[in-house]
Structure 1
Amino acid sequence: HLHSAPELATLLGNQLKVQVIDSALKLAKKRKTSNSIQDYLEFLVRLQIFTWEEVQSYMQTRLLGILEQLIPYDGLITEEPELTFDLKFTDSKPGFRWCDLQPLLGQRQKQWTALAPAIPSIEAIPRIKDITSADTDTTQYLRKWIDGQHSLVDISTNSDQDPLKLAQLYYKWTKVGWLTFERSRKSEEELTSSTQPTGSHTDDSGKQIVLSVDDSSVVQTMIKRAIQDCYQVVLANNAVDALNLLNSNDISLVLLDVTMPGIDGLELCRTIRSIGKFHNLPVVMLTAKDGVFNKLKGQMAGATHYLSKPITQDKLLEVLNRYVPNNVKA
């Protein structure tokens, strides 16, 4: 949804708790000018209602929230020519580059992972559990927003809140017993489709099967997109699911993250090697850590190869093509 200039300015004013925003908007409406969002905000910045840095921070948070919703899905982003949104950034008002947004998404993903025991995904649906001990303001808020029908992302969108900050607040409320979460139907369908056993060494197109084990959904999505044209990809975010997939699929290679909560990648690699039928299964360890010592630990655990993040698509495919026997390329 693209907001009009007054709508966007109102959202900014509410987020920044600008007490004079209503008066400033009335003054802005009296100006005889176009509906340009850029001109509208320029005027409010000149009035010192807010700064361009605050505009950029707000837009960046909105953008990160949108990307977090899009990342789990394959598809294309297309432009709608009939929609106009002329907010632009210049040298003095810098915009957003993917190379800057990517590490921020990674940091946020780690925070999402920390919430996972109580909040399984951004699409999870909160339900009121027991609010008898909640204060009046919290009770009113919960009764307003939590209806057992709308997901976390729905609530954050409707209330114009950062979904991560909202999740962190709700996580605290789950700890005191006020809220509980359940997976949305859409999340259950995605989980089922991403971990569906095939029982064969290749899929219908003849692609070899690669198991990617990583607790970061951002990393998992990037890996899948990088190699799915050449390989079938099945995903696991923990050691138990990974072992179940190994036993129910004829996996050709395992991509294994070193740092995972609970059973880490090194321990899982040792477990895989302790099972006779997996003695020769290629296991490629992925980690953000570099250095001879870390590579040595991976080799001692039984890793076939060791790659340091970030990994380019070309490098990843080069390693997979080297270790997967008789690979049939798409």
Structure 2
Amino acid sequence: MSEANNLAGVKVMVIDDSNTIRRSAEIFLVKAGCEVVLAEDGFDALAKITDHQPDVIFVDIMMPRLDGYQACSLIKKNPKFKSTPVIMLSSKDGLFDRARGRMVGSDEYLTKPFTKDSLLEAVGKHVLNRGLA
């Protein structure tokens, strides 16, 4: 079975202040059958998360106003979204950045630029772990 079939109907939120990154992720995910919700920063995401209740959340680390670490921490502190997988997106690939992501509750860490395959693989892995597919 192809990954595209596995991801049909999965709701994914992409939080990134870069329009290019949001659009790239959206194109990859929509082609795989996902429903995509976009947010341009942590505040925008927090406003949309309750309405849309995504199955998986991608969050950029470096954002204005509310960065990815803060956004992830707030998402994970909400009992309703505690088990929602949060995948950090960053151009920084340092051990400290990965460790800090884990400390705020992130489930995975993807470095930018990400590939279509790495993005879909991350979604697939977390969706299968939660028994959504």
Tell me the alpha carbon deviations over residues 71-129 of structure 1, each in whole angstroms, 9 at most, x when there is no partner.
Answer: xxxxxxxxxxxxxxxxxxxxxxxxxxxxxxxxxxxxxxxxxxxxxxxxxxxxxxxxxxx
Partner SS for 2:132: coil
Alignment of 1:226 onto 2:32 = no
Aligned position for 1:261: 64
Tell me the alpha carbon deviations over residues 197-224 of structure 1, each in whole angstroms, 9 at most, x when there is no partner.
Answer: xxxxxxxxx5111000000101111101
Partner SS for 2:63: coil
Aligned position for 2:111: 308
Of 7, 11, 15, the residue aligned with 1:213 is: 15
Q: In the aligned structure 2, how far is the partner of 1:286 from the partner of 1:246? A: 18
The answer to which structure has the higher strand fraction is 2
Identity across matched positions, percent: 34
Tell me the alpha carbon deviations over residues 129-152 of structure 1, each in whole angstroms, 9 at most, x when there is no partner.
Answer: xxxxxxxxxxxxxxxxxxxxxxxx
Unaligned runs of 5+ in 2: 1-7
Contact 2:43 2:65 in 1 (8 A): no
Q: In the aligned structure 2, how far is the partner of 1:312 from the partner of 1:239? A: 23
Tell me the alpha carbon deviations over residues 20-53 of structure 1, each in whole angstroms, 9 at most, x when there is no partner.
Answer: xxxxxxxxxxxxxxxxxxxxxxxxxxxxxxxxxx
Tell me the CA shift for residue 273 of structure 1: 1.1
Letter in 1 for 2:51: S
Q: In the aligned structure 2, how far is the partner of 1:238 from the partner of 1:310? A: 18
Tell me the CA shift for residue 241 of structure 1: 1.6
Aligned position for 1:326: 132
Q: In the aligned structure 1, how far is the partner of 2:108 from the partner of 2:55? A: 14
Tell me the alpha carbon deviations over residues 124-181 of structure 1, each in whole angstroms, 9 at most, x when there is no partner.
Answer: xxxxxxxxxxxxxxxxxxxxxxxxxxxxxxxxxxxxxxxxxxxxxxxxxxxxxxxxxx
Contact 2:89 2:111 in 1 (8 A): yes
Contact 2:37 2:52 in 1 (8 A): no
Alignment of 1:251 onto 2:57 = no
TM-score (norm 1): 0.36
Of 13, 16, 38, the residue aligned with 1:235 is: 38
State the Cα RMSD in Å: 1.1
Q: In the aligned structure 2, how far is the partner of 1:254 from the partner of 1:283? A: 5
TM-score (norm 2): 0.88
Structure showing greater Rg: 1
Q: In the aligned structure 2, how far is the partner of 1:315 from the partner of 1:239? A: 23
